[in-house]
A and B are shown apart, each in its own frame.
Chain A
């Protein structure tokens, strides 16, 4: 259970946790958009640093470091495959000779640089996804979608809840098998028996949860009687915008604007092929510093983050 907990949302006292889920998700989407728009390694590196800093500010820095390690493992093959597969660069640093129908196997500096940029973008996307999944409340987020489709949003909520539950079940089953004096999974028959026990356990669990959902009125909801009506019994007082909501909304807009400006003004210009051409001037560094500031500034104000 402890291992599975590492991957899921847990309420902590941080500015990002204190932000309403919709704004938190929009902020993560803005970072994702910036990671996809930008190709220049300098602003991309600044973006990576900023996301890691945001992780520390959110209290999940160690978990982001774990994701970064996985990203490095994922990134190295990306670079290697790009170097081996790309035929577009001009600066050859090694020749592998003729590769039959694939032509000449020339390894180029441009392919290394482009592969590294792609790996950096993949790492960024992984980091942003991890940060969002740890700091944005999925229930609150999915609540917004219930107006459109109660059942689909509920199913998604259930999935986010059931993954750690099933993980804990599997861990318990594995632990029980470890306490047996003899390995029950020995041989094909043993493995099949263990596999069917795991599947059977998951199905039993699903049945129990289905019974609970029935009792909570899931079928009534499916008949269309549910759905956020304003009742005559009272008026909904909308949740006031907190300083965190405003700060992260501004941050998201600023990050998006900076990424677009960098792309449109050429401050973040970058071309890998046929020769590496990268904009490196004051504008590039100002853009990078502005990205860092826009992402990290909301984390400096830690007033009112207990809830």
Chain B
């Protein structure tokens, strides 16, 4: 047994309710355990308790016993326990404490008094194991987000711990880097029997790799079992924790709930709902088949394709970037002659790997940056919500941050007297949204498309709402709420542009998707086209159904699966 919690109850200093409430479980060596639960239900606290940060670092009231590798965490602090458990948190920036990668990897070994030869060997081995040997002599502050996360993982693994604790390590990574990290954990688990405890919101990414899922609800263990039993439990008790694949099966009346795309496709194939070939022939119709409407299931919302066409035909755009370049003085070009036009009422998902230029594009749209070449035209104010909502919150009361109408618009009217720091992640995000979309004071300059003059006058509502990675660290419920808010604003006529790594969120809120790479738009089309056919930039529903019918969300996929097979074949024929 590597880790055990025995009736652990813990409250943070000054907290009214316990963050962990009578938690008990045992973890055997070599297990890959997934921690599930909504935001604020105790996942991070449990990880902090496992490594001794709770209670040694955070204080508070602690009852029960946590034992890590035979050591009682009440008697041994995180410095001692760190030799047995590597820890990786959400933000890699705070986990790199040295200036160079080599020094970072060596620190934990040096701290524990390892000899020089052992340190040198340990650094070399962990660098090779994680594929970061080429980064050893790089400065930590010049690494990309994905590289930083890998180096932080390397630093956590340098002492070859028996247990690795990870708190949403993929939340800041693009889909490619996120999948790579999960693959890496799987390898560590399978090849070296390293025990993994991973807290994650996007369960569809890692459920297939897990042996066991522990679900927390209000600090208590609500379910503890294998992935299959977890999905059955989630369907009955906490649908917000269901993976898109499981939801698709539940809505379509199929079972068992799949833990991954491979299992889901095998089940569909066994039931004759999917052809034998990778591209479905005798089963579900393909979105690429011209005999089938591009978006047959999108009633009630304007088709993304029609939105795109409307934007390009006569309707005055809300935002237009014409040949925009952003070239660094001593570095590469971040944007390379980028062209993008967005119509009022259109909602656009901006996707692409880390460093593709998404955030820079949004900063240009909002006037925070000036193009080195090209121009940006705006039909009015562009409200930009940056990645960290906490950066907006500087007052003691919510009411001081935004006006009452703005708070009411995002559903925070009842929280006016609360301290912004006490809000949940989703509430903070909505408060930041109220701040940036509130009554206008001043804004970066640009050309006003309506007046044909330089922008600068007063305006009530922004013409464009730009959101930069708004779902980082959010659970599925908070994401659904934000997607509803985005759709509402688009329906009211605002143009919305969302930079995101989350295809599920993009599918839920956008009618059009734009893929960036190396500062250029490499693909642009309706969400159904763009998010249905790929490996990385595709929803789980689309990957299960092979992009059939342009179905992106479980509800759409389930409708498609409910169509009688004879009708489907008729459509195809």
Contacts and interface: CB of A to CB of B under 8 A. Distances in A.
B287 interface: no
A170 B402 CA distance: 22
B94 A212 contact: yes
Given A172-B386, A179-B366, A182-B439, A216 B155 contact: yes
A9 B99 contact: yes
A69 interface: no
B411 to A, nearest CB: 20
Interface in B75-119: 77-80, 82-83, 87, 89, 91, 93-100, 102-103, 107-108, 110-118
B399 interface: no
B155 to A, nearest CB: 7
B372 interface: no
Contact of A212 (B95, B110, B385, B390): B95
A164 B141 contact: yes
A150 B113 CA distance: 11
A196 interface: yes
B140 interface: yes
Contacts of A182: 438-442
B120 interface: yes
Interface in A107-132: none
B455 to A, nearest CB: 13
Given A161-B99, A165-B141, A175-B368, A214 B78 contact: yes
A137 B100 CA distance: 8
Given A212-B95, A214-B79, A219-B77, A229 B113 contact: yes
A103 to B, nearest CB: 51
Nearest to B103: A139
Interface stretch (A90-98, A231-239, A292-300): A231-239
Interface in B411-442: 435-442
Contacts of B395: 184, 193
A228 B110 contact: yes
A180 B386 CA distance: 11
Given A146-B110, A179-B383, A235-B117, A217 B82 contact: yes
Contacts of B527: none
Interface string B381-402: 1011110101111111000100
A231 B137 contact: no
A8 B139 CA distance: 9
Contacts of B441: 180-183
B100 A226 contact: no
B99 A228 contact: no
B112 A226 contact: yes
A8 B141 contact: yes
A179 B97 contact: no
A227 interface: yes
A197 B5 CA distance: 37
B330 interface: yes
A61 to B, nearest CB: 11
Contacts of B440: 181-182
Nearest to A236: B116
B394 A197 contact: yes
B117 A225 contact: no
Contacts of B443: 181
Nearest to B381: A181
B142 interface: yes
Contacts of B80: 217, 219-220
A228 B383 CA distance: 54
B121 interface: yes
A99 B118 CA distance: 71
Interface in A152-179: 154, 157-158, 160-161, 164-165, 168, 172-173, 175-179
Contact of A236 (B96, B99, B102, B120): B120
B422 to A, nearest CB: 14
Interface stretch (A31-39, A203-211, A259-267, A273-281): A203-211
B17 interface: no
Given A176-B386, A181-B443, A182-B441, A214 B57 contact: yes
B392 A234 contact: no
Interface residues of B, number: 74
A87 interface: no
A220 B79 contact: yes
Nearest to B388: A172
B513 interface: no
A62 B331 CA distance: 13
B51 interface: yes
B141 A213 contact: no
Interface in A239-255: none
A225 B113 CA distance: 6
B53 interface: yes
A270 interface: no
A209 B111 contact: no
A233 B118 contact: yes
B117 A234 contact: yes
B328 interface: yes
A285 interface: no
B327 to A, nearest CB: 12
Interface in B319-373: 328, 330-331, 363, 366, 368
A215 interface: yes
Nearest to A164: B141
Contact of A215 (B53, B113, B393): B53
A160 B111 contact: no
A175 B386 contact: yes
A253 to B, nearest CB: 27
Nearest to A307: B137
A283 to B, nearest CB: 41
Contact of B394 (A9, A138, A196, A209): A196
B138 interface: yes
A49 B93 CA distance: 39
Nearest to B369: A175
A181 B115 contact: no
Contacts of B107: 154, 216
A193 B396 CA distance: 8
Contact of A234 (B121, B393, B438): B121
B118 A214 contact: no
Contact of A181 (B89, B383, B400): B383
Contacts of A138: 99
Nearest to B394: A197
The 5 lowest CB-CB distance pairs between A and B, nearest first, are A231-B115, A234-B117, A217-B111, A182-B441, A219-B79
Interface of A: 1-2, 5, 8-11, 62, 137-140, 143, 146, 150, 154, 157-158, 160-161, 164-165, 168, 172-173, 175-184, 193-194, 196-197, 201, 205, 208-221, 225-237, 307
Given A221-B112, A225-B113, A228-B116, 17 more contacts: A137-B99, A138-B99, A139-B99, A158-B97, A175-B368, A175-B391, A179-B386, A181-B438, A182-B439, A209-B97, A212-B89, A220-B80, A221-B110, A227-B113, A228-B115, A229-B113, A237-B117
25 contacts: A10-B142, A11-B137, A138-B99, A157-B98, A176-B388, A176-B392, A177-B392, A179-B368, A181-B438, A183-B442, A201-B391, A209-B97, A214-B77, A214-B82, A215-B51, A215-B78, A217-B108, A219-B78, A226-B110, A226-B112, A226-B113, A230-B116, A231-B115, A231-B117, A233-B117
